[in-house]
Structure 1
Amino acid sequence: MKRTKYRIATAVAVLAATGALTVTFVSGGGKGTADAATSLDQYVPIQAVRPNVAAPKPGRAASTGRFTVDCGTNGNGKFSPDNPVAQPGIKNGAEHVHDFVGNKAITAFSSNAELDASGTTCRNGDKSSYFWPVVRIDKTVRNGDAIRQALTRTQPTVACPTVGDRLPAVPTRARAAVDRRLAELDALTAAADRRMTASRGRIDPTLNKQVLDDLRTRRAEVIRGIGDTLASAGARPAGLVSLVDCDVSYDGLHAAMRGADHAGSVKAARDATPQVQCPTVRDRLPGVPDRALAEVNRNLDELDRQITEANERLLSTRGQGGPAFVDNAVLGPLKAKRTAVLDRITIAISRQAARPQGLDRLAACTLNQPIPAPGSGAAPAPTGSPAALPDPQGPNLELPGNTGGIVRPAQVLIEYRGNATAKVVPMPKFLRALTGDAKPTSRGPANARAVWSCSGFADRLSDKYPICPAGSRVQRVHDFPGCWDGRNIDSDNHRKHVAFADKATGACPQGFTAIPQLRITVSYDIPRDVQLKGQYALDSFPEENHNPFSDHNDFVNVNSDRTMQRIATCINKGKSCS
């Protein structure tokens, strides 16, 4: 509380000294007034932030080079409320919109094969995915009590990635055991939901942590059991650790807040980045005979690649043709290709066992809309796509609580940097990493990071939205962990396989090795009057209510081995490369 009071007092002094103090500031942050959209106690003049950034002094073995990648500023308009790193397999799981650069086809459901088959916005061919929450300008009035009032009517639940639709073909002799394990995962989620009733109508970070930690431990054991069962049958899967972690969801706030802001009244429109939505196949196959496993898995991978190609085509042809263009140019050809592959899967299984029935009904896909459930005569909905999570609507891609025009970055600087004490080794392909925490309110602030600054003030970062001097850009500086455990491309909480170097020395923790340390700096040209009135803010989960400390950034490394080796060599030689 003292820290907040200090910042408010300092902001008043600075603004008053510049003659820029406005009535909206002293009216309680503009809530209920006709001018401001967000409470001004979340904003601070960058001059009032004390210098707090100090790089460790490089040692004799330091790697001091720098490799930059130009992936653009999301000029092709790839926006999505998916988070493929933190919430794989959950459609619209972020509940806020992300800017994506790099990999063109990535969604919450993308496999590594899909990522590798995608095109990219990066000039050097880097297929990695880099994404962060959008910033919006909203000059309308927000109801300051809407979140609190909606929360009193909200029951928190637990959201978990599904596993059955991410498995390879399951051998016949393992099918029953795998199904029992999948049912056990469902039971664990249901039990965790029951525990969450204790916090109905409020946010309880302590309970949330207890529930999630217990659930993570038990899910890890069950998922490891699925992997071991499949391995014993000769079909070990990859990447299941990414599906362990769950989250506390306040999805009910969407319904409770409907009408609280103008997102509920915007004219519905298709998402600016449409996505193909296809029925899942992997979780609908029977047990597969051993002799058919390789062929079935090749065809399952081909289905993934077809979706990647269709999503890329949607991105590159957006706005072309009339109403039937998507059906004729994308969905129709995709259905024909899927029909052929599903037929090959059916034949491969039927050579050794009973012919699977109904796979042909999984061929048709749709575009950004719910698919009817099985038995309705149409294609079933993908597992793990909760209908309660809304699609972005209108020309501004608005969601409940996240409204206003999206600000396109003026510049996105992607840098791979060295280590102050050691040479770096190349990152492994498909490494997942994140920085910051999207939910410091509901999960606690341990992983949250101060990232806000202004151009020309590289020596300071703030956990508040900055008010920058005239001519200076608003910036977000996201530093990723620069140390790797040497084995894993992900972990059960998406964090343990990587680590930050020591702030004072720059050394990696024991057991970790230095890798090229990713820094993404996103810069914005935001009018100064908008800054002073608190009218720009981050998209966030509803319970965070645009908390600037909830900023975060995610990354999947899809650089080729050759390119990543080039990055590491450049850094280790102390050069500046691109």
Structure 2
Amino acid sequence: MGRTTRRRPRAGRRTAAASIALILAGGGLIAVNSYAAAGEGQGPWPGGGTTQSGTLGAGPVPATVKCPEVANGLPEVPEAARAEVDRELATMDSGITEAYQRFAEEQEQIERDPQFVQNAILGPLRSKREAGLDRIAEAIGRITGERPQDLRALAPCTLQTDGADEPGQDGGGQDGGGQDDQNGDGGQGGNGGQAGNGPEASDFADIRTVSPNVQEPPLLRGASRGTFTTDCDVNANGKFNPDNVIVAPGVSNGAHHMHDYVGNQANDAFASDDDLAAGATTCRDQGDRSTYYWPVLRLQNGAAEDDAQADGGGKDQNVGKILTPSQVTLDFVGNPRGKVTAMPRFLRIITGDAKAFVNGNANANASWSCTGFEDRQLKDKYPICPQGSKVVRSFKFQSCWDGRNADSANHRTHVAFTDASGRCPGGFVPVPQLVQRIVYDVPPPVFEGADAAVFALDSFPEQLHKPVTDHGDFINVFDEKLMRELVSCLNEGRRCGPGDPAQAPGGDGPEPKDAPATATAAPTGSPAPAPAAPAEQQPEAPARPDAPTADPAPAPGDPYEPATPAASAAPATEEPAAERPPAEPAPETPDADRARPEAADAPAEPTAEPAAPDAPADRAAAPSPARSEPATASVRQSPKAPAGTETPAPPTAGGSNIPVPAGEAAPQAVEGGLAETGAQLWPSAAGAVLLIVGIALLRVRTRREGPRHR
């Protein structure tokens, strides 16, 4: 009995100790997992999951500094005040850049003090913007005699997430554009990328997951069916600068990112119209001294570029090796409803929005695709192209002009897009539409490990290199004779220009008609004439009572032929003009990669074709994930180099080009599903089981031992 009496308390103590250990272990697992789940994906607030107000939250990470676009909120700016206003707007852009950089650099301080963002970053930024807005109002008031009111409502800035402003921020004047998670990535997730401010994996999409989504209006009787191609090289001479003579004239580093320039070589922030008229040009036809520029594309693989310590480059968080395009195609096309009139000399057009990530996508006009898949266009994702296919970015510029102004205060209101049928807004006349297509031989992105490398646009730092911020700029500096030829070519339905193999000196003429073809490139939201088709297949719109007709448009004098009225109001039933000739597949001249209708018997996916014997080896090779160096001067395209890396995309059912609703164009991997949620919560579940088992054991032991110790 003695031994039994001694053992029972020892066994009971062991049972009690085990029960307590189970309870503590279970409770600990629950507590730790709950804390980690609350903090996961959170921003720079105390504790990793605490919002600016100091409470534990589960909202998305504040990603960037968002400020209203002042240029879009200004009243009419008189010409005499334009230069001063532009300088103030550029100064405000610099202030946003500085505020974002401090936000990105001061994460530790922000974690310690939730009010630091407001007191040290957003508050001072607001004060600077209010002062600039006051100077803008004063400049306008000196000319008009009436100072604009309420401009200070555009001063406050916020911290933006992908979908909502962080609560507790300095609110006020929003830009009204909305930012409802247009990128679909559900939170910035820490701003990956080489410079710590993007891009990240969610900014990319496999082009093969995108449904065909390109539609074109039919060409009506009287349409201007021609195509004029100008060949201005691929920036082989490496002309870059971070200026923007349209948006920020007279301001160095006005863009805060590098641009590629082709055409006019006199373009910098200080170039006047006279400078551009006298400048050299890279265009084969010296009558085209126009300037064409766009943000550079970089391979972010850890390699440093020459501008790593320069404005517009590393100082503005644009890093990596600048990629030289393998091809640049510059086409001017007509209007699907009627004739076009000449563009005025020095007409300035910007298309897309360099600040679309924070402004919303009202002015976004980015278009991303892959060769062989150009009937599928991405707006807010970079494409992941299959092997043998190249990255394509394209723009269709505004093609309606107000008939009076070569520029406007916000650089947008003097030009406009057509509607879906090709009609210009009331008071606007059709002009030749610039269609710009830029092709890159770039390796597919790699997101993890030592070989991580992605490609990305240069951007304003706070725009996080989002693909939706892509944009293009154009200043028309065609001479009088060449502009007349361009307009005649379009209105007469011809195919013209030095890029046309049949007309170019030394050209080899078109390829056989059974050569592989690619689909037509078109940016989302900018309608344009349908792709060329053989005359007998060209759709004609029959005259019918409900058919829309063109708005009567003013007929401003042709800036090159003042006595010639604009032939832009031709009704849909006008007798047909000459049919646009078939778009013959051509050898790989500067427009050899141009989009063409898909072949009906195209293979399912692009595959690399054998290179021609005279093709450079590095041009013939298909892009490979193992490549770490960008395409540079060694891959610049010879006008006669045959294409060897592109094959057509798979045909679509019935040739349909059904548009995909916004946000659904590129199905992406879904996060937050049941499996993912279970994977995140299993420690809490295990902890609960341990807790229950421990309590049960303790209760059993108490019941058994209790009567013996009474």
TM-score normalised by L of structure 1? 0.51
Cα 1:66/1:267, change in 2 over 3 Å: closer
Q: Is the 8 A contact 2:299 2:453 kept in 1?
A: no
Q: Does 1:59 align with 2:220?
A: yes
Q: Residues of 2 paired with 1:267 and 1:31: CA distance?
A: 19
Q: Is the 8 A contact 2:349 2:474 kept in 1?
A: yes
Partner of 2:232: 71
Q: CA deviation at 1:61?
A: 1.2
1:89 counterpart (227, 250, 254): 250
Structure number with the higher helix fraction is: 1
Cα 1:114/1:550, change in 2 over 3 Å: same
Cα 1:414/1:80, change in 2 over 3 Å: same
Q: Deviations over 1:341-387 (max 9, x none)?
A: xxxxxxxxxxxxxxxxxxxxxxxxxxxxxxxxxxxxxxxxxxxxxxx
SS in 2 for 1:399: helix
Q: Is the 8 A contact 2:366 2:471 kept in 1?
A: no
Letter in 2 for 1:573: E
Q: Deviations over 1:429-458 (max 9, x none)?
A: 000001000011343321112311111122
Cα 1:121/1:34, change in 2 over 3 Å: closer
Q: Deviations over 1:34-73 (max 9, x none)?
A: 9997311000011222222111000001111101111000
Which structure 1 segments of 5+ residues have no match?
10-26, 142-261, 269-389
Cα 1:69/1:481, change in 2 over 3 Å: same
Partner of 1:226: none
Partner of 2:294: 132
Q: CA deviation at 1:571?
A: 0.7
Q: Is the 8 A contact 2:308 2:319 kept in 1?
A: no
The alignment covers a number of residue pairs equal to 314
Partner of 2:343: 427
Cα 1:59/1:138, change in 2 over 3 Å: same
Q: CA deviation at 1:108?
A: 1.1
Partner of 1:18: none
Q: CA deviation at 1:531?
A: 8.5
Letter in 1 for 2:353: D
Which structure 2 segments of 5+ residues have no match?
1-161, 164-179, 498-710
Q: Is the 8 A contact 2:445 2:455 kept in 1?
A: no
Q: Residues of 2 paired with 1:549 and 1:6: CA distance?
A: 8
Cα 1:545/1:489, change in 2 over 3 Å: same
Q: Does 1:104 align with 2:265?
A: yes
2:475 counterpart (556, 559, 562): 556
1:502 counterpart (419, 425, 429): 419
Partner of 1:384: none
Q: Is the 8 A contact 2:352 2:363 kept in 1?
A: yes
Q: Residues of 1 paired with 2:290 and 2:195: CA distance?
A: 43
Partner of 2:430: 514
Q: Does 1:404 align with 2:320?
A: yes
2:402 counterpart (471, 477, 485): 485
Letter in 1 for 2:323: V
Q: Residues of 2 paired with 1:49 and 1:121: CA distance?
A: 36
Q: CA deviation at 1:577?
A: 0.7
Aligned 1:48-447 pairs, distance under 5 A: 48-125=209-286, 126-140=288-302, 391-392=311-312, 398-447=314-363
Cα 1:32/1:7, change in 2 over 3 Å: closer
Q: Is the 8 A contact 1:37 1:138 kept in 2?
A: no
Cα 1:502/1:33, change in 2 over 3 Å: closer
Q: Is the 8 A contact 1:450 1:461 kept in 2?
A: no
Q: Residues of 1 paired with 2:446 and 2:193: CA distance?
A: 17
Q: Residues of 1 paired with 2:193 and 2:401: CA distance?
A: 48
Q: Residues of 1 paired with 2:474 and 2:350: CA distance?
A: 6
SS in 1 for 2:325: coil
SS in 1 for 2:315: coil
Q: Deviations over 1:268-309 (max 9, x none)?
A: 5xxxxxxxxxxxxxxxxxxxxxxxxxxxxxxxxxxxxxxxxx
Identity of aligned residues (%): 46
Q: CA deviation at 1:140?
A: 3.9
Q: Residues of 1 paired with 2:375 and 2:424: CA distance?
A: 23
Q: Residues of 2 paired with 1:426 and 1:39: CA distance?
A: 43
2:461 counterpart (534, 542, 549): 542
SS in 2 for 1:72: coil
Q: Residues of 1 paired with 2:314 and 2:193: CA distance?
A: 21
Q: CA RMSD in A?
A: 3.1
Structure 1 stretches of at least 4 aligned residues deviating more than 6 Å after TM superposition: 1-9, 27-30, 32-37
Q: Is the 8 A contact 2:195 2:317 kept in 1?
A: no
Q: Deviations over 1:119-178 (max 9, x none)?
A: 10000011000000001011249xxxxxxxxxxxxxxxxxxxxxxxxxxxxxxxxxxxxx
Q: Residues of 1 paired with 2:447 and 2:216: CA distance?
A: 29
Q: Residues of 1 paired with 2:353 and 2:193: CA distance?
A: 29
Partner of 1:380: none
Q: Is the 8 A contact 1:45 1:466 kept in 2?
A: yes
Q: Residues of 1 paired with 2:495 and 2:307: CA distance?
A: 47
Letter in 1 for 2:249: P
Letter in 2 for 1:492: A
Q: Residues of 1 paired with 2:331 and 2:219: CA distance?
A: 18
1:41 counterpart (198, 202, 209): 202
SS in 2 for 1:475: strand
Cα 1:129/1:531, change in 2 over 3 Å: farther
Q: CA deviation at 1:530?
A: 4.6
Partner of 2:485: 566
Q: Residues of 1 paired with 2:431 and 2:194: CA distance?
A: 50
Letter in 2 for 1:539: D
Letter in 1 for 2:430: A
SS in 1 for 2:487: helix
**Greater RCO (Cα-Cα under 8 Å, separation 6 or more):** 1
- Radius of gyration: which is bigger? 2
Cα 1:29/1:38, change in 2 over 3 Å: farther
Letter in 1 for 2:461: P
Q: Residues of 1 paired with 2:311 and 2:218: CA distance?
A: 47
Q: Is the 8 A contact 1:138 1:405 kept in 2?
A: yes
2:392 counterpart (475, 492, 499): 475
Q: Deviations over 1:469-505 (max 9, x none)?
A: 11111011111001111111011110111110112x0
Q: Residues of 2 paired with 1:492 and 1:36: CA distance?
A: 31
Cα 1:466/1:117, change in 2 over 3 Å: same
Q: Deviations over 1:1-39 (max 9, x none)?
A: 899899779xxxxxxxxxxxxxxxxx9799499999731
Q: Residues of 2 paired with 1:416 and 1:118: CA distance?
A: 22
Q: Is the 8 A contact 2:243 2:252 kept in 1?
A: yes
SS in 2 for 1:51: coil
Q: Is the 8 A contact 2:195 2:318 kept in 1?
A: no
